[in-house]
């Protein structure tokens, strides 16, 4: 079975361990990739990486296409006497999947394999067997025999950890799962779009921004938008999907394999800019790309914080549906990712003037 180039590239990026605040492996990789298709690449102190492509019109709009670099994870808070690690969450790992889950602890001396401990089923009460312990009672076991040994291995308070969820191809040649599909798939889309835009002439100028700290409050995108001052922000991110037996049909009424997601509104977040929404809908119809309209998902995206950064930005989110969000086995359909690249590439090429962005 031969994987698509998009799947191969996504596998490369999901193999990198880069939890919030420790995004350097991804930032270095995207900097190298953007240098191949940008006039210039810049990095700010916060860690955001920008690849600039100059348009043909001096008065053309500046369009920022963005995805976040960080993945959910964990931070060690203390080392117990037996070498076990107490920890807290980075972002929102799903608590119910944590007991017994493999993790990788990113110590100062190098990565260490570990597991989140689980009480033996033989001694659990019937009620206890169906309960998830609070995070404060969970611990990571890296095989250390003492706190001193764990410290010798480079572990200390503040050491990060991530899920172990290796890239896996299913029997369906279009579907894959693993850790941090959120949002390494979005990064791959931005890079693919940047490479395609580098080969055409466009009136607009583009900045392809890979930003930090999304999982803990959409922070990097706000900083990036203040720095870049774009006229348009297109955020590409993954979105929890429905279509599984444990969800009602109307609970998350979109699914993987159904095409790109166009967010109309986010709960407590973005209201998609009307002219952009209509432009993307028209482009999807012209190109025969299926489009799933979604409203009021539980999550928010970087488009929300970027839009508010200056108050003068037209913003839109294009989503990739994923199953099993914020676990080690996020599943997606690579056809959706391919269609996102097609849709965004063709749609942004139609934005030639700032006047197109006016709502009235």
Does one domain contain both 61 and 198?
Answer: yes
Q: For residues 111 and 37, what is the distance between their CA atoms, to the nearest angstrom?
A: 32
Look at residue 159 and give its three-state secondary structure.
coil
Does one domain contain both 78 and 117?
Answer: yes
Does one domain contain both 94 and 142?
Answer: yes
pLDDT in tens, 40-89: 999 999 999 999 999 998 889 999 999 999 999 999 999 999 999 999 99
pLDDT in tens, 278-336: 999 999 999 999 999 998 776 788 788 888 887 789 999 999 999 999 999 999 999 99
> How do 73-79 and 160-163 pair as beta strands?
antiparallel
CATH number, position 101: 2.40.30.40
pLDDT in tens, 86-109: 999 999 898 999 999 999 999 999
Q: For position 298, what pLDDT does the model report? A: 62
Mean pLDDT calculated for residue range 194-218:
94
Q: What residues contact residue 283 under an 8 Å CB cut-off, 6+ apart?
A: 289, 343, 346, 347, 350
Domain, as residue range, for 226: 5-71+179-357
174 is a domain residue: no
Q: Find the helix packing angle between 334-348 and 5-14, rounded to 10°.
A: 100
Does one domain contain both 38 and 112?
Answer: no
The answer to whether the beta carbons of residues 334 and 4 sit under 8 Å apart is yes
Structural domain count of the chain: 2
Q: Radius of gyration of the chain from Cα atoms?
A: 21
The answer to whether the beta carbons of residues 1 and 176 sit under 8 Å apart is no
Q: For position 199, what pLDDT does the model report? A: 97
Binned at pLDDT 50, 70 and 90, residue 124 comes out as low
Q: Is the pTM of this model over 0.85?
A: yes
Structure tokens at 96: 């119910």
Does one domain contain both 184 and 214?
Answer: yes
Does one domain contain both 281 and 264?
Answer: yes
CATH number, position 11: 3.40.630.10
Q: What residues contact residue 210 under an 8 Å CB cut-off, 6+ apart?
A: 26, 27, 30, 34, 48, 49, 66, 67, 68, 69, 187, 190
24 is a domain residue: yes
Query: What proportion of the chain, given as a percentage, has pLDDT over 90?
Result: 79
For the CA atoms of 304, 283, 38, 43, the dihedral, rounded to the nearest 10 degrees, stands at 10
Q: By C-alpha distance, which of 336, 284, 344, 311 is closest to 7?
A: 336
């Amino acid at each position: 079975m031969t994987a698509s180039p998009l799947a191969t590239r996504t596998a490369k990026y999901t193999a990198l361990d880069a939890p919030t605040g420790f995004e350097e492996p991804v930032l270095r990789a995207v900097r190298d990739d953007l240098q191949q298709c940008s006039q210039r690449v810049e990095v700010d102190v916060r860690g955001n990486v920008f690849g600039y492509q100059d348009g043909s019109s001096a008065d053309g709009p500046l369009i920022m296409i963005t995805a976040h670099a960080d993945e959910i994870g964990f931070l060690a808070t203390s080392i117990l006497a037996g070498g076990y690690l107490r920890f807290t969450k980075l972002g929102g790992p799903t608590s119910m999947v944590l007991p017994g889950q493999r993790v990788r602890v990113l110590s100062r001396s190098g990565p260490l394999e570990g597991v989140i401990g689980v009480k033996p089923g033989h001694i659990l009460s019937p009620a206890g067997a169906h309960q998830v312990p609070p995070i404060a009672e969970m611990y990571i076991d890296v095989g250390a025999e003492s706190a001193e040994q764990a410290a010798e291995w480079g572990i200390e308070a503040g050491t990060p950890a991530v899920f172990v969820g290796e890239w896996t191809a299913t029997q369906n040649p279009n579907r894959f799962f693993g850790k941090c599909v959120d949002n390494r798939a979005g990064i791959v889309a931005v890079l693919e779009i940047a490479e395609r835009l580098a080969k055409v002439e466009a009136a607009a100028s583009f900045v392809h921004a890979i930003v930090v700290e999304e999982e803990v409050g959409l922070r990097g995108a706000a900083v990036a938008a203040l720095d870049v001052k774009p006229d348009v922000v297109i955020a590409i991110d993954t979105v929890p999907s429905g279509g599984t037996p444990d969800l009602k049909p109307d609970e998350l009424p979109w699914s993987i394999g159904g095409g790109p997601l166009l967010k109309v509104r986010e709960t407590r977040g973005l209201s998609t800019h009307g002219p952009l929404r209509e432009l993307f809908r028209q482009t999807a119809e012209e190109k025969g790309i299926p489009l799933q309209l979604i409203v009021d998902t539980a999550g928010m995206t970087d488009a929300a914080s970027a839009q508010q950064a200056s108050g003068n930005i037209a913003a839109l989110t294009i989503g990739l549906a994923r199953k099993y969000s914020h676990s080690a086995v996020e599943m997606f359909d690579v056809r959706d990712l391919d269609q996102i690249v097609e849709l965004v590439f063709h749609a942004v090429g139609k934005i030639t003037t700032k006047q197109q962005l006016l709502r009235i």
